[in-house]
Structure 1
Amino acid sequence: MPPSSLRVVYAFAREMHPKTTDVFIQYGTAGFRTKASLLEHVVYRMGLLAVIRSRCKNGRTIGMMITASHNLEPDNGVKLIDPDGEMLEQSWEAIATRLANVSDNDLESTTGEIIKEVNADMALKASVYIGMDTRYTSPRLAAAAVHGVMALKGTAKEFGIVTTPMLHYCVKCRNDNTYGTPTEEGYYEKIVGAFKNIRQKLPVAGNYNTTLYVDGANGVGGKKLNIIKKTLDGELDLVLFNLGGNGGKLNLNCGADFVKVSQKQPVGVEHVPYQRVASLDGDADRIVYYYLDDESKMHLLDGDRIATLLASYVTELLRASGAAQLRLGLVQTAYANGASTRYITDQLKVPVTCVKTGVKHLHHAALSYDIGVYFEANGHGTVVYSDVTKSTVSKIAQEGDTEQRKAAQLLLNFIDATNETVGDAISDLFLVETVLCARGVDVRQWYETYADLPCRQLKVTIQDRNTITTTDAERKCVSPEGLQERIDELCGAYASGRSFARPSGTEDVVRVYAEAETQEAADKLAAEVAQAVFDLAGGVGDRPTLPA
């Protein structure tokens, strides 16, 4: 592409999407995420980068999702999706950050430099899929994305309002037509169709109840489940709340992140004891379950619980189908409850890998197993299956004995109900409901599998979150000096005490996690570690306190 043809890059920026702020913005764990008012020029420039990335991938389709996931409504964000439906390759994050922060006057020359550095063939066709969540700022940002694609003569296809996992799925299907059809309807056909196939093979039995209450976080997931609900033919009775009406605000006092962090029930519904409830987040890539007991105490079933449930069931199906030689492993982060890790290794006898926070790290580690189950404690996760696994199970489904064929066919349906590209609240919901139905258990029996250690999460605001650097999958602080020694000292004062601090990849805060034998001890430890972070890493504003 000759330099003259890059002039439109500057023209679009100057006339329609000028950079109006000097605030530095960084491509983090899930792309760029900040106040929506700061993002228009960034999203425009990511449209440019998506085209360059597509051409570096020989014209394969790249995705752009406009969302701030579990953040509150004033925020928004953008992330790029690679051809296999995975997160943007890590080496490109620095390129994205550089392009987002240059001045408008330098945008044309910087774009040209990046094209040269990555050796993009600008004569190739380029394809970009664009989706957005329900935020009122999303349509304007999606328009900026389209202009970025147009400026470098790429082809943009807009999907409108979709869940983040739906866009990941469509990008994967567009580049690999064996995976499915790259449309929202194709998603329903594969994921929901596989669940219905399973239900026809599994009679409802035992203590399992087909009624499931779902908190939609006033976001896109509830809207899509409302469409799906009508097609379930009574196999699952979804009672949906927090669907965005009646003044409900996105993720405000509801949704997976609120339930997980505050350990409180969401607004929007009256609960009865032992009623099974699932909470999605705003863009439907996270899910947690919970129930209230007779005394209205909440019992949370988070990503750790979902991971152990799915891993144990897949292990059962592998044994029943005669494919136990396939290696199943589970991937967690430092946020995983220590009790879950012990249960996985001691009871399930499944290998565990611990990695840094961020789905890209979990996904990559999961690919090293024949079947990799990965979940963050926040409810973001999925299962990935190797080609060897799929071919082995398919062969057994055709050639095994009667019982082996039956188990293998169930596992093939389970694989089809899984969105392997990324954590997907809707897909995960169907997987969880499959296992509970297959075992004939209710939510209380699921919860009683093992006892979590009480835990607490806090946020601390400091002058520069990058002051804190970590090692050992973010479980140990390297800097500032003396912080890790102080954390170790504090943990040593509590039975089963464990805590860590890490800079958030999605917010301008430091996150503190603590667990101990009692809730009071976990709360105290979290508060003490948060205080240490505030004191040693340059805290600003109010001192950290426990939420009311």
Structure 2
Amino acid sequence: MLNNIALKFLSFKLFSHFLTKNLKRTMADSMDVFSIIENLAKNQYKKVYRGDVQYGTAGFRTRADHLDHVLYRMGLLTVLRSQAKKAVIGIMITASHNPEADNGVKLVDPQGEMLEASWEEIATKFVNVDDDKVVSTLREIIKQENIDTSFPASVIIGRDTRKSSLPLSQAAIAGIKAMNGKLQDFGVVTTPQLHYLVVCTNTNGTYGIPTLDGYYEKISKAFKTVAGMTNDRDKYLARLQLDAANGVGSMAIKEFKTRLSGVLDIEIFNSGDGELNLNCGADYVKIQQVPPLNVPLQPYVRCVSIDGDADRVVYYFTDDQNKFHLLDGDRIAILMAAYLKELLLQSHLDVQLGLVQTAYANGSSTAYITDTLKVPVACVPTGVKYLHHKALEFEIGVYFEANGHGTVIFKDSAVQRIRSVACDKSIPESQQLAARNLSHVIDVINQTVGDAISDMLVVELILRAKGWDAAAWEKMYQDLPCKQVKVKVQDRNAITTTDAERRCVLPKGLQERIDEIVAKYSKGRSFVRPSGTEDVVRVYAECENASDIEKFTAEVSLAVFQLAGGVGTEPVVPS
């Protein structure tokens, strides 16, 4: 008995010694980590830019030379986010459609979605504190979010082709390593590819194989399968011209061009020889309503523009009178929604389908969805995170911004029902075939917050199935003439909005002035909203008569300039 007691006491003493020794070592290691973090924050990645930066709908985005300290701190924060979610988190370095001199960074949450809103506030506060408060702020975040820092954090990082992206990624990597986070660096990738890799990793390969080859193989294999199910082409020609905005998307398109050889002929322009996003890309084409530089348009040949990080896409063509025709995100959304509804009806599947838009959606598109397609439509504030969240409320949610950023989301339960019908031998073959078609289309779609190339391939499959060219697609409905402009202001935060950004709350009197202007134009609609990245107010206007649109837009712009602190040259209203 005594020997047993002595043995237990000795064991307890040894255990206590082991625990104390290791606890001291853990505390020392923790102190060493924070010492390294502080040293890097005060020296190599100190805050040179003294202005504040804000995490907006696209993350942090500003001039590249203002971002060194931001990327370092985001590297630190990504590790904490991984520990908080107990999952792999993504970090993407890109400024999308912005000029070459800009850059940015955003975090990707476990299911490929944008960073949670509460953490946007955390990120904004963290990157703006002084260098000597980096460690204390980190400790605050850990305590506030009750983060288990012993959890092995894992981060996937990617970057676009900008010259500034490599050194900025190195700053982020320094932060990740300083926090002892595990890292997978995929180098130069499109933004949608990074989202895909995060989801695949967190779902243990259920969504797809978490490699770039897995991404290309999943989408191209499904595309070829669906294309092989369609024979009658009618007006459809499997040929298109693509403007890659001199960005990272050109690398992905070249890979798809090889894999889809003989099924889809893609001629690539602006593939990297020119300046990124300069007079080219989806945003340029959408805003300017003109073709991009360097693309030799031919009458009725389908043309596509993607943006610098390949998450936006628009279609366009010229007719035999050389008139430019734009097929934007609204039209892509409606084409997809109409086709999905058609396949659901043919499959005899009772699955809830819905479509989500922003205030920028043309009024004619909303009327067509509601009155002709009879599909429920919701309007949310600008920003993919809002559309994505709302789309999750439907069993199949289609969402697109007018700029061409969007996708389709399928609930797991809907996918299971579709695939069950696709292999049900007891039902008519026509139902099986429609469900099988829909099942393969799901695999062409990258559901992780929008993919320009994936979206383009889905459009091509639909046009092929219907035997349509771009002109036939355009005839689904007629857009109201519309225009977007920017008004420079002293402080964009002086503008606040409500009702999914369709009504202006502040400054007082501005909405009343806009209402007075709108009332003068047949089928007139206009709204204003502050930019998420620069001190400008974005003005949108649409009306029935094309001859009125310039004056209409100018009147609203002048009201913004006068009531919202405009700077620079005052807008001129044409007579």
The TM-score bracket by the shorter chain reads over 0.9
Q: 1:332 matched to which residue of 2?
A: 357
Query: Is 1:249 equivalent to 2:275 in the alignment?
Result: yes
Letter in 1 for 2:396: I
1:12-411 alignment runs, 5 A limit: 12-58=40-86, 60-176=87-203, 177-245=205-273, 248-323=274-349, 325-399=350-424, 400-411=427-438
Counterparts of 1:517 and 1:444, CA distance in 2: 21
Counterparts of 2:420 and 2:69, CA distance in 1: 51
Q: Which among 520, 526, 529 is matched to residue 547 of structure 2?
A: 520
Query: Is 1:433 equivalent to 2:457 in the alignment?
Result: no
TM-score by length of 2: 0.93
- Post-superposition offset of 1:83: 0.5
CA contact (8 A) 1:497 1:522 kept: no
Counterparts of 1:205 and 1:294, CA distance in 2: 22
Higher mean C-alpha displacement, 98-107 vs 521-530: 521-530
Q: Are the structure 2 counterparts of residues 238 and 545 from structure 1 closer, same or farther at C-alpha, using a change threshold of 3 Å?
A: farther
Q: Are the structure 2 counterparts of residues 277 and 350 from structure 1 closer, same or farther at C-alpha, using a change threshold of 3 Å?
A: same
Counterparts of 1:387 and 1:241, CA distance in 2: 38
Query: Is 1:447 equivalent to 2:474 in the alignment?
Result: yes
- CA deviation profile, 1:244-270 (whole Å, cap 9, x unmatched): 11xx11111000000000001100121
Counterparts of 2:550 and 2:99, CA distance in 1: 25
Pick the structure with greater CA Rg: 2
- CA deviation profile, 1:122-180 (whole Å, cap 9, x unmatched): 00100010000111100011101101101111011111111000000000000002101
CA contact (8 A) 2:492 2:534 kept: no
CA contact (8 A) 1:502 1:510 kept: yes
Q: 2:496 matched to which residue of 1?
A: 469
Letter in 1 for 2:346: A
Counterparts of 1:380 and 1:241, CA distance in 2: 21
- Post-superposition offset of 1:84: 0.4
Letter in 2 for 1:533: V
Counterparts of 2:339 and 2:451, CA distance in 1: 18
Counterparts of 1:261 and 1:427, CA distance in 2: 22
Higher mean C-alpha displacement, 10-19 vs 106-115: 10-19
- CA deviation profile, 1:64-89 (whole Å, cap 9, x unmatched): 00000011111000000000010001
- Post-superposition offset of 1:507: 3.1
- CA deviation profile, 1:325-344 (whole Å, cap 9, x unmatched): 11100000000000000000
Counterparts of 2:572 and 2:414, CA distance in 1: 48
CA contact (8 A) 2:555 2:573 kept: no
Q: Are the structure 2 counterparts of residues 115 and 289 from structure 1 closer, same or farther at C-alpha, using a change threshold of 3 Å?
A: same
Query: Is 1:538 equivalent to 2:555 in the alignment?
Result: no
Higher mean C-alpha displacement, 397-406 vs 410-419: 397-406
Q: Are the structure 2 counterparts of residues 403 and 84 from structure 1 closer, same or farther at C-alpha, using a change threshold of 3 Å?
A: same
CA contact (8 A) 1:390 1:412 kept: yes
SS of residue matched to 2:527: strand
- Post-superposition offset of 1:523: 1.8
TM-score by length of 1: 0.98
CA contact (8 A) 2:490 2:535 kept: no
Counterparts of 2:233 and 2:527, CA distance in 1: 43
SS of residue matched to 1:389: helix
Letter in 2 for 1:318: L
Higher mean C-alpha displacement, 288-297 vs 344-353: 288-297
- CA deviation profile, 1:281-316 (whole Å, cap 9, x unmatched): 000000000001122211100000000000000001
Q: Which among 470, 479, 502 is matched to residue 506 of structure 2?
A: 479
Q: Are the structure 2 counterparts of residues 252 and 546 from structure 1 closer, same or farther at C-alpha, using a change threshold of 3 Å?
A: farther
Letter in 1 for 2:348: G
Counterparts of 2:179 and 2:158, CA distance in 1: 19
- Post-superposition offset of 1:545: 6.1
- CA deviation profile, 1:459-506 (whole Å, cap 9, x unmatched): 111111010000000000000000000000000011111000001123
SS of residue matched to 1:268: coil
Counterparts of 2:184 and 2:256, CA distance in 1: 24
- Post-superposition offset of 1:23: 0.8
- Post-superposition offset of 1:115: 1.0
Letter in 1 for 2:303: V
- Post-superposition offset of 1:546: 9.2
CA contact (8 A) 1:128 1:154 kept: yes
Higher mean C-alpha displacement, 516-525 vs 26-35: 516-525
- Post-superposition offset of 1:200: 1.2
Counterparts of 1:336 and 1:430, CA distance in 2: 22
Counterparts of 1:73 and 1:341, CA distance in 2: 35
Counterparts of 1:373 and 1:336, CA distance in 2: 14
Counterparts of 2:446 and 2:570, CA distance in 1: 42
Counterparts of 2:81 and 2:54, CA distance in 1: 18
Letter in 2 for 1:303: G
CA contact (8 A) 1:205 1:440 kept: yes
SS of residue matched to 1:230: helix
SS of residue matched to 2:538: strand
Q: Are the structure 2 counterparts of residues 154 and 545 from structure 1 closer, same or farther at C-alpha, using a change threshold of 3 Å?
A: farther
Q: Are the structure 2 counterparts of residues 273 and 526 from structure 1 closer, same or farther at C-alpha, using a change threshold of 3 Å?
A: same
- Post-superposition offset of 1:52: 0.2
List runs of 5+ in structure 1 lacking aligned partners.
Answer: none
Counterparts of 1:520 and 1:149, CA distance in 2: 55
SS of residue matched to 2:504: strand
SS of residue matched to 1:16: coil
CA contact (8 A) 1:18 1:41 kept: yes
CA contact (8 A) 1:514 1:523 kept: no
- CA deviation profile, 1:411-460 (whole Å, cap 9, x unmatched): 01100111111111010001000000000010000011100000000011
- Post-superposition offset of 1:204: 4.8
